[in-house]
Chains A and B, each alone.
Chain A
Amino acid sequence: DSGVTQTPKHLITATGQRVTLRCSPRSGDLSVYWYQQSLDQGLQFLIQYYNGEERAKGNILERFSAQQFPDLHSELNLSSLELGDSALYFCASSPGTGAYEQYFGPGTRLTVT
């Protein structure tokens, strides 16, 4: 158990819908990262937040957005869902923005039908 929690574990929804994935970092960690794992794209970085502020963006679609709240939990919002958005979405956390390892949560498996 990494100490990072994610809910829900599984999500099945239809195209065009909007979903919210939630992540709670390890106690004391200020940085949260979101990654997408799909068969064709592999593991790709989406976005990073540090202490409530966006720090870095990766291959995140405009239909996707995220935020980090004062209690440091983070939410990833996916809207206008397409079949190709079906993937595993992982959240990871680290203590800060320095040279730290990242600890991954169990992931949310999103299936868009």
Chain B
Amino acid sequence: AQSVSQHNHHVILSEAASLELGCNYSYGGTVNLFWYVQYPGQHLQLLLKYFSGDPLVKGIKGFEAEFIKSKFSFNLRKPSVQWSDTAEYFCAVNNGGRRALTFGSGTRLQVQP
């Protein structure tokens, strides 16, 4: 069964700091990868996705992620965070045979002004 690991459970940064959140998945075949964000009290919003092609994908709000197949990783990055980025971030994966998403446990990001 596929699984997703997010190693950072709680990250605290100051505004303008750079962000990198780790995501590793376990599945040997073709995968689709996603990062979702959940602002306090709100629903999940898609930040970015990777299906195929360029392993460096750009999403909304200045976020990007890099798919490294050899490392089974899909880390999320942002060069300079803002207070409004305070939220919980979820990495998710599905594969060719299973369209339902498998989520990581989430990373709570707190950005201090």
Interface residue ranges, A against B (CB under 8 Å): 2, 31, 33, 35, 42-45, 48, 55-56, 58, 90, 92, 94, 97-107
Interface residue ranges, B against A (CB under 8 Å): 32, 34, 36, 42-46, 49, 51, 90, 96, 98-106
In contact, B46 and A43 (Cβ under 8 angstroms) = no
In contact, B103 and A56 (Cβ under 8 angstroms) = no
Given A2-B43, A104-B45, verify A45-B51 contact (CB < 8 Å): no
Q: Inter-chain contact count A-B, CB under 8 Å?
A: 51
- Beyond A104-B36, A104-B43, list 15 extra A-B contacts (CB 8 Å): A2-B43, A2-B45, A33-B101, A35-B101, A42-B104, A42-B106, A48-B100, A56-B99, A58-B100, A90-B44, A98-B99, A102-B101, A106-B42, A106-B43, A107-B43
Most chain A C-beta atoms within 10 Å of own C-beta, residue among B34, B96, B100, B103: B100
